[in-house]
């Protein structure tokens, strides 16, 4: 998958197109991600004890990672990734527009 946890992404298609947020959870087996403040769903919960209150809870839902692009904070636009191998042999992700490493 091209995005990881704590990356900033921009949604590029669907009803949430244009929204930005931080990736909270990456689910590579399903190819989905959960982004902060995007794809909010209403979940009905029961009270589990006498002290806990039940009701409707708003939380983020998962959506396919292909609907999101990594957002470069340096050039301030969504970007594709390039991979670059450094002198020490480590592989890093690089912005295609400005060359910033992620």
Strand-pairing partners, residue 45, are 55
For 3-53, the pLDDT digits (tens) are: 999 999 999 999 999 999 999 999 999 999 999 999 999 999 999 999 999
Around Cβ 91, how many Cβ atoms within 10 Å?
Answer: 9
The pTM score is 0.85
For 52-95, the pLDDT digits (tens) are: 999 999 999 999 999 999 999 999 999 999 999 999 999 999 99
Q: Which residue segments constitute the domains of the chain, with CATH numbers given? A: 8-73 (2.30.30.30)
Strand positions, DSSP E, the chain: 8-11, 20-27, 32-35, 40-45, 55-60, 63-64, 68-72, 77-79, 81-85, 91-95
Average predicted confidence (pLDDT) for the chain: 95
């Amino acid at each position: 998958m091209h995005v990881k946890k704590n990356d900033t992404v921009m949604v590029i298609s669907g009803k949430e197109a244009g929204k930005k947020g931080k990736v909270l959870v990456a689910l590579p087996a399903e190819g989905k991600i959960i982004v902060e403040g995007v794809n909010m769903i209403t979940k009905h919960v029961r009270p589990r004890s006498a002290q806990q209150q039940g009701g409707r809870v708003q939380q983020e839902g998962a959506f396919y990672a292909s609907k999101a692009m990594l957002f470069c904070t340096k050039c301030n636009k969504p970007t594709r990734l390039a991979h670059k191998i450094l002198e020490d042999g480590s592989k890093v992700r690089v912005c295609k527009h400005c060359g910033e490493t992620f």
